[in-house]
């Protein structure tokens, strides 16, 4: 009674996090996927091999990760990359000079930087719009538009885009819809089910969940588009090593467990903060006061552990950041440990001041990535940090 990879789809989410895309090693029976640390594969004879020739193209450890995350997102194909940015860069190589992309104005700072400071040199053009309003998406699409690029919820202001409405527009206008699902993770949101063509992650964050590697992954359903991405992945070569692939694969095994705890802690801390500093200063889609709370409930099954808070000034922000003991001052998010950061001078430092201000990324804004520690310890830490503010 051996399970085949085709069986994976019939199991529920948490079962798939642990088993999808992986089988005990044929040679030894090892329950854990081997870390196949090799650059090349010995061929049996000229033109005869076991499906592996050179590790830029394929690696069994990487393939296990790709099958696993493809299953979690409800896709048919997964392509792992050496970082989230490497993934986005490779996806952008689907396009060419003269192509236009409509992108959310509030996307990850590094995404904006890649588009605005690098890809424009290659003749691609971008419109950054407030994708909370579907009409603005529709209005920004021109005959040259090839893709709609979305992130929801966004970093750090937790703004949402209605994925079903956006995909209806994308389908009607014949443009590809690409969604960065890093913040919600497939446990809480699966954009392919609401019509996205490609969903991707920085695996560095919730999918790995232990802050010990950098990676990216794209998942999709369409076979022809997958063949094009496979070609680019091998041609451009931004692929992850087997050790990092293995770490991400080990991380996804506890994704359901971790996300439930991130979410429980996130809700409790957001409510505490709302009472402490006022609803209007806390950005968390799980709060009834969030302007898009109804949409959040409709398209996500949980809200996760990312919260931003307006402290009122850079001095207040510095006070909080300087006082915390359990929250660690650091960039990044999605690990088991709680992190705290100052978007204006950290993740969004590469975004010009005028644009930052227009987006609402103020000097007083701080961002929390609530980990999976005991909520009481996190609350006590914040209680102390906010004393007198
Ligand atoms: C971190 C992040 C990225 C970039 O991923 P890296 O792995 O750091 O290259 C892209 N999008 C979002 C939402 C992120 O949080």
Q: Where are the alpha helices (DSSP H) in the chain?
A: 13-19, 60-73, 84-92, 109-113, 134-140, 163-173, 185-188, 223-236, 242-252, 255-277, 293-299, 314-323, 353-359, 375-385
**Cα separation of 99 and 387, whole Å?**
52
How far does the centroid of ligand 1 lie from the alpha carbon of residue 109, in Å?
Answer: 9
**Cα separation of 48 and 31, whole Å?**
29
**Number of helical H runs and strand E runs in the chain:** 14, 12
**Cα separation of 73 and 75, whole Å?**
5
How far does the centroid of ligand 1 lie from the alpha carbon of residue 211, in Å?
Answer: 13
pLDDT for 1: 58
**Known catalytic membership, residue 113:** no
Per-residue pLDDT tens listing for the chain (389 residues): 577 888 899 999 999 999 999 999 999 999 999 999 999 999 999 999 999 999 999 999 999 999 999 999 999 999 999 999 999 999 999 999 999 999 999 999 899 999 999 999 999 999 999 999 999 999 999 999 999 999 999 989 999 999 999 999 999 999 999 999 999 999 999 999 999 999 999 999 999 999 999 999 999 999 999 999 999 999 999 999 999 999 999 999 999 999 999 999 999 999 999 999 999 999 999 999 999 999 999 999 999 999 999 999 999 999 999 999 999 999 999 999 999 999 999 988 878 889 888 888 999 999 999 999 999 999 999 999 999 99
How far does the centroid of ligand 1 lie from the alpha carbon of residue 230, in Å?
Answer: 21
Cβ(274) – ligand 1 distance below 6 Å: no
**Cα separation of 55 and 237, whole Å?**
10
In sequence order, what DSSP letters do the residues of 134-190 get, joined into one string? HHHHHHH--TTEEEEEEESS-TTT-----HHHHHHHHHHHT-EEEEE-TTTHHHH--
For residue 131, what are its two tokens?
Answer: 């994708």
pTM for the predicted model, two decimal places: 0.97
**Known catalytic membership, residue 180:** yes
Question: Cβ–Cβ contacts within 10 Å for residue 356, how many?
Answer: 19
Cβ(371) – ligand 1 distance below 6 Å: no
**Known catalytic membership, residue 205:** yes
Whole-Å CA distances, 119 to 94, 99, 112, 150, 254: 12, 11, 10, 17, 36
Q: Which of 16, 58, 159, 205 is catalytic?
A: 205
Which is nearest to 188 in space by CA: 160, 215, 214? 160
How far does the centroid of ligand 1 lie from the alpha carbon of residue 259, in Å?
Answer: 18
Cβ(240) – ligand 1 distance below 6 Å: no
Query: Helix, strand or coil for residue 270?
Result: helix
Nearest CA to ligand 1 atom 1: 202
Name 182's Cβ contacts closer than 8 Å, sequence gap at least 6: 84, 108, 151, 200, 201, 202, 205, 206, 334
Cβ(252) – ligand 1 distance below 6 Å: no
Q: Domains of the chain by range and CATH?
A: 7-252 (3.40.640.10), 255-386 (3.90.1150.10)
* DSSP symbol at 203: T
């Amino acid at each position: 009674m051996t399970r085949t990879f085709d069986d994976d789809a019939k199991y529920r989410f948490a079962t798939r996090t642990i088993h999808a895309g992986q089988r005990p090693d044929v040679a030894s029976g090892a329950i854990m996927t081997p870390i196949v640390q090799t650059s090349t594969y010995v061929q049996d004879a000229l033109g005869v091999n076991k499906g592996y020739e050179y590790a830029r193209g394929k690696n069994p450890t990487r393939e296990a990760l790709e099958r696993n995350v493809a299953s979690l997102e409800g896709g048919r194909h997964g392509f792992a990359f050496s970082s989230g940015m490497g993934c986005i860069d490779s996806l952008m190589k689907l396009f060419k000079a003269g192509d236009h992309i409509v992108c959310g104005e509030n996307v990850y700072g590094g995404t904006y930087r890649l588009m605005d400071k690098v890809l424009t040199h290659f003749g691609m053009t971008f419109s950054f719009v407030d994708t909370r309003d579907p009409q603005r998406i529709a209005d920004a699409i021109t005959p040259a538009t090839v893709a709609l690029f979305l992130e929801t919820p966004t970093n750090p202001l937790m703004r949402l885009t209605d994925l079903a409405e956006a995909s209806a527009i994308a389908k009607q206008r014949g443009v590809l819809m690409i969604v960065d699902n890093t913040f919600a993770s497939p446990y809480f949101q699966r954009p392919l089910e609401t019509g996205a063509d490609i969903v991707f992650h920085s695996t560095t964050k919730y999918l790995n969940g232990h802050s010990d590697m950098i990676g990216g992954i794209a998942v999709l359903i369409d076979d022809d588009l997958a063949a094009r991405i496979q070609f680019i992945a091998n041609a451009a070569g931004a692929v992850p090593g087997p050790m990092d692939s293995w770490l991400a694969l080990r991380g996804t095994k506890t994704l359901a467990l971790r996300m439930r705890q991130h979410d429980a802690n996130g809700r409790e801390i957001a409510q505490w903060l709302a009472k402490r500093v006022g609803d209007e200063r806390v950005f968390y889609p799980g709060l009834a006061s969030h302007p898009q709370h109804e949409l959040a409930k409709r398209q996500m099954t949980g809200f996760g552990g990312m919260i931003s808070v307006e402290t009122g000034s850079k001095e207040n922000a510095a006070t909080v950041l300087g006082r915390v003991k359990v929250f660690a001052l650091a960039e990044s998010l999605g690990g088991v440990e709680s992190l705290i950061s100052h978007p204006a001078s950290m993740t969004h430092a590469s975004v010009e001041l005028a644009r930052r201000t227009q987006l609402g990324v103020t000097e007083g804004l701080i961002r929390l990535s609530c980990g999976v520690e005991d909520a009481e310890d996190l609350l006590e830490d914040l209680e102390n940090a906010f004393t007198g503010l």
